[in-house]
Structure 1
Amino acid sequence: MQSYTTASLLWLAVFLGCQQVAPPDPIATIQGQTMGTTYHIRAVTGPEGPQRLIKIQERVDELLAQVNHQMSTYDPESELSRFNQAPAGEWFPVSSQLIEVVDAARQISDATDGAFDVTVGPSVNLWRFGPDKKRKEFPTDQEIAQASKLVGYQQVEIQSDPPALRKAQDDVYVDLSAIAKGYGVDAVYELIKAEGFTDFMVEIGGEVRATGLKPNGDPWKIGIETPADDVRQYDLVVGLHDRALATSGDYRNFFKHDGKRYSHTINPKTGRPVEHDLASVSVLFENCMLADGYATAFLVLGPVEGYNFAQEHNLPVFFQMRKEDGTVETKATTAWQQYQSN
C-alpha cells in the first residue's frame, strides 16, 4: 500500500509538472459587439499570454463606442444624426474623426465620379434599408425622384479647423455605413499597435486589417464568402499581411417584390437599387476605411465598369457575379492575382 501511494504521488507530480511547463496558446482572441455586428481581435501575445490582450479590451470597447456615437445613423444623439437634423447653411461643429471619414468618402466619390456617395441616405431610407424600416409601401417614381434631389456629395462642405460640416439643403442626410466600419477597424488597429503588438488582426463585421505573421510564419488567413442567400460558404482564402480586406455584397441584405430581387446597394445616380449581376466585391488596401468605401463603390459601378476602373488604377479587387443558372463567376484584377501569388 505504501509503495502504491508513493508511485501515485510521483506520477501526479510529474503530471502537474508537465502541465506547469506547457506553453500557453501563443494567439489570444477577444471579441464583442459594435455597430450592430461583432468584432474579433486575434494577436500573438508572447510570453505574457492572453492577459496581455484581454486587459485592453475595455479600451477597445470604449473606442468603438466613441466611433459609433460619432458616426451612427441609428443613434439619434450621435454627431452624425445631429448634423443630419441641423439646418442648412450653418457650420455644424463635429469631431476631427468624423471629418476624416467624410473627407475620405469625398475622395472616393471624386475618384469614382459619384458612384460612392454618403448623401445617398434619403434613397436608402426610401427603399427600407436605413434605420427606419417601418415603411412597407414600394416607392413610387415620384418619391424616388424627390429623394434623388437630396443626393449629391457636393452638397456637404468640410471644414478642418475648427472641424465642422455644412450642408446645402435642410434634408440632406449623410450615411457613413459603407465606410465607418472600415474606419473602426483602423482605429482599433492603431490602438493595438500602440500597445506594442506586432502580429495581429482586427475584424469588424467581416472587414479585416492584419499585420505581421502567425507564430508558424504564415500570414493571417481570411476566407471570402461565396455569395449565397441561405448558406455560408468560403471557396477562397486570402493570406493577409500588412493589408486590409473589405467585402461588399448583396446576398445578406435585400428584399423581393413581385418576384424581383432588390439589393440594399443604391445607385446614387438613379436612386434605385443596382440591377447588374455583381453579387460581391472584395478589395485589398493599405487601410480598411478606403477598402470599405471602394468595395461599395465597385458594387455600384458593376462588373464591367468596376473591373475596368480597378485595372486602370492597379487596385487588387476580386469580383463575384451571380449568373442566371445560380452559379457564381469570378474575376480578379491583375493586382489581386499578383498579391495572391506572393
Structure 2
Amino acid sequence: MMLKKKNLMIGVILTATAVLAALLFFSIREEKEDRVDFLMDTFIQQQITGRKAKQTGEKVFQALKAFDDSLSMYNTESEISKINNAAGISYVKVAEQTYNLLKRSQELSTLHNSFDFTIAPITALWHEAKENGVPPTEEQVAQRLALVDYKKVLFNDEEQSVMLAEKGMAIDMGGIAKGYACDVVRSIYQKSDISTALISIGGNVYTYRTPRGKQGYRVGIRNPIGDSADALLSLMSTEQVIATSGAYERFFEYQGISYHHIIDKNTGFPAQSDLLSATIVTADGALADFLSTTYYILGKKAVLETIEQEKATLAKGETPQFAIIAIDKQYNIYVSPSLKDKVELLEDDGGKYRFAV
C-alpha cells in the first residue's frame, strides 16, 4: 500500500515536472516584439508575443507600407493617384486589395450621407488651407463640392478596374483606410505563429486574442481635451477594433476660430458637432473607422438613438454589430449597454466627466 502511494506520488511529481518543463520550453521560445513605425501619416505601434513575434511585426510593417503606397492620394505612383489622374478619361486596373477596399467604400457611402470617399477635392482644399493658415472661401468650397459624388465611381468587375466619371473628381481613402488596415493586420496575425498582439494605427486599435492570465487587453481611450498620451477611459477588449474620432488632431486657427480635419461632406466645412469624440467597438475595422467619423458628425442625438436600438437588440437575445462610446461637450460619457462592465473612468479631471448612460 505504501509502495503504491509512493509510486503515485512519484507519478504526480513527474507529471507536474513535465508540465512545468513544457510551459518553460514554450515561454523560452516565445518572443516579445514592441515596435513603432511611421506610416499612413501616423505612428503605428505593435506589441506582439509569440514564437514568430519579430518576424510577424516586420511582415505587418511591409504589408502596411505596401497598403499605404497603393492608397495615398499624395503619392503620385499610388493606384489611387492613378485613378484620380485618369478621372473622366479612362478606367484604371488596380490590385485586388485596392479594388475590394474601393467597393467597400462605395458600400459604406450608401449607408449615410455624411461619408463619401470621393471627398478628395474638399480635403485637398483644406490641406492647402492648413498649409497657408487661411480657410477657403464658401465659393471655393462650393466649387469643389460639386465634384463629390460616390455614385459616379464606376467599377468593372471583369477587368478589376475603376474610373471616376467626371474630370476633377478624386478619391480620398482617409475615412476608412486605417480601420481597413486593422483588417489587413488581423489576417496576418491569424496566419502567424504568435500568441497575442495589439496594434495601434493612429486612432484605431486592434487587439488579437487574450494575453495569458488576463481577461483581455486594457485599451486607453484618449481624453479629448488632454494631450495625446492622456487616457480618460479604459476599455477591456479582445478580438475587436476600437476606432476613435475627434476634433483634437490636425487643426489650425484663424482669427480665433479653430478648423479641424473632420469634414462634413454636406457642407464642405469642418463638422459642427456637439461631441468631443466618438468611439466605435466592433470586429470590422473598416466599419469602425467609418462609423466613428460618422457618429462624430451626426452628434449626440444619433448616439442616444443608437444606444436605445442596442437595448432593444440585446433584449431579443441578439448581438449588436457594434458598440459606441461618446463624449459630449458637457463632458457626459455615453456608453453602449454591451460595454457597461468593460469601461472604466481612469481620471475624473476634477470631477468634470461623468457617465450619463
Cα 1:311–1:66 change in 2 (3 A) is farther
Assess if the C-alpha contact under 8 Å between 1:213 and 1:241 holds in 2.
yes
For structure 1, which segment, 114-123 or 302-311, has the greater mean C-alpha deviation from structure 2 after superposition? Answer: 302-311
Residue 173 of structure 2 aligns to a residue in which SS?
coil
Q: Give the equivalent residue in structure 2 for 1:10.
A: none
Alignment partners' CA distance in 2, 1:229 and 1:259? 20
Assess if the C-alpha contact under 8 Å between 1:311 and 1:334 holds in 2.
no
Deviations 1:44-79 (CA, angstroms, capped at 9, x unpaired): 32xx4xxx2113343222211110111112212111
- Are 2:95 and 1:99 aligned? no
Paired residue type of 1:187: V
Alignment partners' CA distance in 2, 1:97 and 1:159? 15
Question: Where in structure 2 are the equivalents of 1:217-256 lying within 5 Å?
Answer: 217-228=214-225, 230=227, 232-256=229-253
Q: Give the equivalent residue in structure 1 for 2:120.
A: 121
Paired residue type of 2:95: S
Alignment partners' CA distance in 2, 1:88 and 1:282? 37
Residue 34 of structure 2 aligns to a residue in which SS?
strand
Assess if the C-alpha contact under 8 Å between 2:221 and 2:235 holds in 1.
yes
Assess if the C-alpha contact under 8 Å between 1:189 and 1:202 holds in 2.
no
Q: Give RMSD over aligned pairs.
A: 2.6
The alpha carbon displacement at 1:229 in A equals: 5.5
Q: Give the equivalent residue in structure 2 for 1:81.
A: 81
Assess if the C-alpha contact under 8 Å between 2:186 and 2:208 holds in 1.
no
Q: Give the equivalent residue in structure 2 for 1:37.
A: 42
- Are 2:183 and 1:176 aligned? no
- Are 2:301 and 1:304 aligned? yes
Q: Give the equivalent residue in structure 2 for 1:280.
A: 277
Alignment partners' CA distance in 1, 2:303 and 2:189? 34
Cα 1:54–1:34 change in 2 (3 A) is same
Residue 207 of structure 2 aligns to a residue in which SS?
strand
Assess if the C-alpha contact under 8 Å between 2:49 and 2:197 holds in 1.
yes
The alpha carbon displacement at 1:158 in A equals: 2.6
Alignment partners' CA distance in 2, 1:100 and 1:153? 15
Assess if the C-alpha contact under 8 Å between 1:316 and 1:339 holds in 2.
no
The alpha carbon displacement at 1:335 in A equals: 3.7
Assess if the C-alpha contact under 8 Å between 2:48 and 2:57 holds in 1.
no
Assess if the C-alpha contact under 8 Å between 2:31 and 2:53 holds in 1.
no
Q: Percent identity?
A: 23
Paired residue type of 2:240: R
> What runs of 5+ residues in structure 2 fail to find an aligned partner?
1-23, 311-319, 345-357
Question: Where in structure 2 are the equivalents of 1:261-340 lying within 5 Å?
Answer: 261-309=258-306, 311-312=308-309, 314=320, 315-323=322-330, 328-337=331-340, 340=343
Cα 1:299–1:160 change in 2 (3 A) is farther
Question: Where in structure 2 are the equivalents of 1:104-253 lying within 5 Å?
Answer: 104-112=104-112, 114-128=113-127, 133-228=130-225, 230=227, 232-253=229-250
Q: Give the equivalent residue in structure 2 for 1:71.
A: 71
Alignment partners' CA distance in 1, 2:141 and 2:309? 33
Deviations 1:1-54 (CA, angstroms, capped at 9, x unpaired): xxxxxxxxxxxxxxxxxxx99x65874323322112222222332xx4xxx211
Alignment partners' CA distance in 2, 1:154 and 1:283? 26
Cα 1:277–1:74 change in 2 (3 A) is same
Assess if the C-alpha contact under 8 Å between 1:30 and 1:54 holds in 2.
no
Residue 174 of structure 2 aligns to a residue in which SS?
coil
Cα 1:92–1:254 change in 2 (3 A) is same
> What runs of 5+ residues in structure 1 fail to find an aligned partner?
1-19
TM-score by length of 1: 0.82
Cα 1:229–1:252 change in 2 (3 A) is farther
Assess if the C-alpha contact under 8 Å between 1:29 and 1:42 holds in 2.
yes
Cα 1:302–1:158 change in 2 (3 A) is farther
The alpha carbon displacement at 1:247 in A equals: 0.8
Alignment partners' CA distance in 1, 2:54 and 2:195? 16
Residue 110 of structure 2 aligns to a residue in which SS?
helix
